[in-house]
Amino acid sequence: MSLSKVAKAAGVSPATVSRVLNRGSLVSRETAHKVRQAIKSVGYRPAPPAERRGPKARLHLPLRHNAVSFLWTAGPQPAQTLTGIGLLEGASAALRRHRVRLIVEYLDAPDDLPPLIASGQLDGLLLHGPEPGSALATRLPRMPAVWLLSPGSRVWGDRVQPDHRLVGRQAFEHLVERDCRNLCCITYRPTVSPYDFFTERSDAFAQAARIAGVPVVTLGGDLDRPADDAARFRASEALVAAFAKLSPRPDGLFVASDLGSYVHDHLRQRRLRPMRDVIFIAGDKEHCPQHLDPVPVKVDVHSQAIGRMAAELLLWRLTNPQAPFVTQLVQPALVVPPRDNN
C-alpha cells in the first residue's frame, strides 16, 4: 500500500501525509485526524522513521565543533588492518547520519599529541590502542572518549568491545556439537594487561569444558606474547609439536590467541588435516588469510558494529556527561564453513 493511496483516500496531497507521519507542525488537527483515519481504512503501515525517505531528524546534541577524532594510539598500522577498516567504516557511518565530521589522527610518538587534539577543538574522541603515557593521558580525559576493542584505559572513558568470554563458550559448544571428545586450547601466558583478550577467551573455554566434564589441555600458558611474525611462527611450530605428542590427541582445537593461521600451517606440515583430523577454530577472521585450506572455523567480532556503537555511545555521552562510565559488549559469532568444503 503506497503513501499516494492514503493521500487519495484522505483527499490531501502526499506531502501532507508525509508531514503527519513525521509529526510535522504545519498540519491542522482536523487534517491530521483525517489522514490517520485514512491510514487505518486502507491498512497502510508506515516504515519506521529511520527507514523513511527524505531528510532525517538530527539529535539535539551539545556540539561545539561538530567534529570527532578517531585516535589510533599505536600509530597508523592498526588502522590498515581489516579490523581497523571495519571500525572506521562503522564509526563514520554512524556520525555521518548526524552530520558530524570524523577526523583520523595517530600518535606517532609517545609524547606527541596531534595539534588538533591538543587544541581541544573537538567534541570527543574515539580511541583504539594502548593507553598513552601519563603525560598525554592526563590531557585526553578532558573530553568525552570511547575506547574500541580491548586495549586502552581501564579507569577513564567508555568502552565498546567484543564479549571475549562468550567467544570461549561458543568455541567449546561448537566443538562439542561436532562430537569432539578431547579438547585443546592454544593461548599465551595469562595477563591483566590491556591485551588480555586471549586470557578471557581461554579461561572461558577451559571453564566450560570443566563444568561439562570434557577433558581439555591448555598449551602456551607459559608463553609470553611474541613480538613479531618470526617469533609467532616459531611459537606456533613448538605449540603444534606439543599438540601432536598429546595422548590421546585432542580432536577439537581452539586457538584463543592470534596464532590461528600459523597453527593451521604447522598442522598441515605435520600431516594433521584441519577440520578432518582435528576440528579447528582459528580465532578472529581478520587474522586468518582467506586462502587457508581447508577453511577453519573463524570468529567474527563484528568490527563495523563496534565502530558504529562506539560513535553512538560517544554522542550519548555528550548529553549524559555525569553518567558512570559504560562498557558495551558486542556478541561475536562463529563463521562455520560448509562441511562439504573441508
Grid cell, residue 211, equals: 563444568
Average pLDDT over residues 36-40: 78
Grid cell, residue 302, equals: 563484528
Cis peptide bond prior to 294, omega within 30° of 0: yes
- The per-residue pLDDT for range 314-323, each reduced to its tens digit, is 999 999 999 9
Do 164-300 and 67-163+306-333 fall under one CATH topology? yes
Q: What pLDDT does residue 243 have? A: 98
Return the minimum-mean-pLDDT range out of 79-83, 101-105, 178-182, 184-188.
Answer: 79-83
Average pLDDT over residues 11-21: 71
Q: With 60 as the cut, is the pLDDT of residue 52 above it? A: no
- The per-residue pLDDT for range 241-260, each reduced to its tens digit, is 999 999 999 999 999 999 99
The DSSP bridge pattern shows strands 124-128 and 67-72 to be: parallel
Q: With 80 as the cut, is the pLDDT of residue 76 above it? A: yes
Q: What pLDDT does residue 2 have? A: 64
- The per-residue pLDDT for range 98-149, each reduced to its tens digit, is 999 999 999 877 667 888 888 889 999 999 988 888 777 777 767 899 999 8
Q: With 80 as the cut, is the pLDDT of residue 39 above it? A: no
Q: With 80 as the cut, is the pLDDT of residue 26 above it? A: no
**Residue 14 CB-density burial (10 A; 0-12 exposed, 13-18 middle, 19+ buried):** middle
The DSSP line for 179-239 is T--SEEEE------SS--HHHHHHHHHHHHHHHHT--EEEESTT-PPPSSHHHHHHHHHHH
- The per-residue pLDDT for range 259-279, each reduced to its tens digit, is 999 999 999 999 999 999 999
The listed CATH number (3.40.1080.10, 3.40.50.300, 3.20.190.10, 3.40.50.2300) that belongs to domain 67-163+306-333: 3.40.50.2300
Residue type, position 224, single letter: D
Domain 3-51 annotated CATH 3.30.572.10: no
Domain ranges of the chain: 3-51, 67-163+306-333, 164-300
CB atoms within 10 A of CB 48: 6
Q: With 50 as the cut, is the pLDDT of residue 56 above it? A: no
d(CA 232, CA 238): 10
Residues whose CB is less than 8 angstroms from the CB of residue 219 and which lie 6 or more positions away in sequence, other chains included: 184, 185, 186, 187, 239, 242, 243
- The per-residue pLDDT for range 281-334, each reduced to its tens digit, is 999 988 887 788 999 999 999 999 999 999 999 999 999 999 999 999 999 999
- Give the CA distances from residue 206 to residues 161, 219, 250, 253, 333, in Å, rounded to whole numbers and listed in that order: 21, 11, 14, 12, 19
The listed CATH number (3.30.465.10, 2.40.70.10, 3.40.50.2300, 3.40.50.300) that belongs to domain 164-300: 3.40.50.2300
Q: What pLDDT does residue 317 have? A: 94
**Residue 328 CB-density burial (10 A; 0-12 exposed, 13-18 middle, 19+ buried):** middle
